[in-house]
């Protein structure tokens, strides 16, 4: 697909379709809309005054302009973006996604997106491209009939002002991020038979080789040497061997005396049956997505390698299946983590925290000073927050605040849950140091309290994305299925850390 940013007047754009953002209750006889109404032969005013279209978020109004001589575009799509006062990069991304999904269904091959004023040109161009790529992903990889085959060949983002070279970089950044979000979604969408721990490790090697990341993959023998009894206890029931994937990005000529190292650690359970504590059969097929945390880390590292920030970043993904067999860990077993801490396994379906415990400890061994882990960890988070917010908990309030702010900037919502010391009492074991579940109360919090036991000595935050990593329904700007939640937030965290480094360097 040909991508570009342009500042040309809309009447000069020779495209199949023109998509324009419209604010809620915006008047058609003022400013830009008045001009667009004149160019479209009165369509804008007619749509708004008839109350067919009000500019509410996600609303659309569509018209063919084949007899119109004032616009080169053959069709016009109005896209509602809600309140003008709330219009930020996230809304630009959703507007672009809504437009390209709608217009692709109409077989438009070339599209010009007009996100309009309110967002800086570079940010608007990046956000529009991100949203467009995210919108074009469909989870139909294995469909052979009635499959969407329509393609968009050319996509233009129309912005006012902005430097040409800067806009080119913004477009490229949007492409990289959008493709990396979709990379994560593609991994999460794969059936468990096609996305085993070994398959994940192979995909990690591919992106490392293509984009210049360093990679190490620990097999079970090396994990045994490291004392990772917690992680290995989960893989015991499966014929598929566990893998611990380590990806690292280091800037060229990097020399930082502070030795700060940001690490992302993501749960990679490629299929979760619950183990001996077997899940109910209904909807178990969705447990292929239980490796979304690891896939998110891989997607973020894929983008980081191309965006080349001035700080190093470490990505760690512990990958395993969780299956029942004669070899599987049983409820009541005691395992020893890499740190030496002993864990009574009460429920084998609380396996994500077991693999993350050793992965967090290993990230610390590799020098991580700031760790963000993310996982489809608990069903309880869906009860608490639904599919709107992901949960964030941790020991470093500054890091938590940064995650929430970064998420807000890219349109991903995180809500902080408490992590008071009293919750840790729920995971005290009678026969070991801790147990892997704390009862029915505060399940998301006690899972984080468990991870906290292994994150001492570093700034740490935990993201529970179980309720937001998979969408049961399609949105105007996104297909149903895997969402790619948190890839963009992690990249924004890296941006913020990079800006902080640049500020310190200049001082």
Residues written for the chain: 507
**Angle at CA 490, nearest 5°, toward 488 and 491?**
65
Exactly one of 353, 364, 370, 478 is catalytic; name it: 353
Structure letter (DSSP) for residue 280: P
| Helices assigned H by DSSP within 411-455 | 443-452
Output b/e per residue, 197-214; b: 16+ Cβ within 10 A. bbbbbebbeebbeebebe
Exactly one of 56, 168, 279, 330 is catalytic; name it: 279
Q: Of 249, 247, 286, 242, give the one whose Cα is nearest residue 268.
A: 242
Say whether 327 is catalytic. Answer: no
Integer Cα distance of 43 and 75 in angstroms: 11
Question: N- to C-terminal Cα distance for the chain?
Answer: 42
| Helices assigned H by DSSP within 241-379 | 292-307, 352-365
Say whether 440 is catalytic. Answer: no
Cα separations in angstroms, 40 against 70, 116, 208, 420? 7, 17, 49, 59
Q: How many CA atoms lie within 13 A of 276 on its CB side?
A: 18
Q: Which tokens in the block code for residue 320? A: 């395993």
Integer Cα distance of 410 and 425 in angstroms: 36
Integer Cα distance of 411 and 292 in angstroms: 19
Q: Which residues are catalytic?
A: 279, 353
């Amino acid at each position: 697909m040909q991508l570009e940013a342009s500042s040309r007047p809309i009447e000069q754009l020779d495209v199949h379709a023109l998509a324009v953002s419209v604010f809620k209750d915006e008047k058609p006889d003022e400013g830009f809309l008045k001009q667009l109404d004149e160019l479209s032969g009165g369509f804008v005013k007619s749509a708004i005054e008839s109350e067919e279209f009000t500019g509410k978020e996600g609303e659309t109004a569509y018209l063919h302009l084949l007899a119109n001589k004032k616009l080169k575009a053959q069709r016009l799509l109005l896209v509602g973006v809600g309140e003008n006062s709330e219009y930020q990069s996230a809304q630009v991304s959703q507007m672009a996604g809504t437009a390209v999904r709608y217009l692709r269904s109409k077989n438009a091959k070339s599209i010009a997106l007009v996100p309009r004023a309110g967002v800086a040109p570079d940010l608007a161009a990046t956000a529009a491209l991100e949203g467009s790529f995210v919108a074009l992903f469909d989870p139909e990889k294995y469909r052979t009939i009635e499959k969407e085959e329509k393609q968009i060949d050319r996509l233009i983002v129309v912005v006012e002002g902005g430097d040409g070279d800067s806009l080119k970089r913004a477009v490229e950044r949007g492409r990289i991020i959008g493709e990396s979000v979709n990379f994560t979604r593609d991994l999460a969408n794969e059936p468990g038979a096609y996305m085993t721990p070994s398959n994940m490790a192979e995909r990690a090697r591919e992106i490392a080789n293509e984009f210049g990341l360093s990679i190490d993959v620990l097999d079970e023998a090396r994990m045994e040497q490291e004392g990772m009894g917690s992680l290995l206890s989960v893989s015991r029931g499966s014929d598929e061997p566990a893998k611990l994937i380590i990806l690292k990005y280091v800037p060229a000529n990097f020399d930082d005396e502070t030795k700060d190292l940001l690490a992302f650690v993501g749960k990679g359970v490629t299929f979760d049956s619950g183990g001996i504590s077997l899940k109910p059969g209904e909807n178990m097929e969705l447990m292929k997505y239980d490796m979304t945390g690891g896939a998110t880390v891989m997607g973020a590292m894929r983008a980081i390698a191309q965006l080349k920030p001035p700080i190093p970043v470490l990505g760690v993904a512990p990958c395993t299946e969780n299956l029942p067999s004669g070899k599987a860990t049983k409820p009541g077993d005691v395992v020893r983590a890499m740190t030496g801490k002993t864990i009574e396994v009460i429920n084998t379906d609380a396996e994500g925290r077991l693999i993350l415990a050793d992965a967090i400890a290993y990230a610390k061994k590799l020098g991580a000073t700031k760790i963000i882990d993310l996982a489809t960890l608990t069903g309880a988070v869906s009860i608490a927050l639904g599919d709107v917010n992901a949960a964030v908990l941790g020991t470093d309030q500054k890091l938590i605040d940064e995650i929430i702010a970064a998420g807000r900037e890219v349109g991903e919502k995180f809500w902080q849950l408490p992590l008071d010391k009293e919750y840790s009492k729920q995971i005290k074991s009678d026969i070991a140091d801790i147990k892997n579940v704390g009862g029915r109360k505060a399940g998301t919090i006690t899972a984080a309290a468990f991870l906290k036991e292994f994150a001492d000595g570093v700034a740490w935050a935990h993201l529970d994305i179980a309720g937001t990593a998979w969408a049961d329904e399609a949105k105007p700007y996104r297909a149903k299925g895997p969402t790619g939640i948190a890839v963009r937030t992690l990249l924004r965290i890296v941006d913020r850390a990079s800006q902080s480094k640049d500020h310190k360097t200049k001082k």
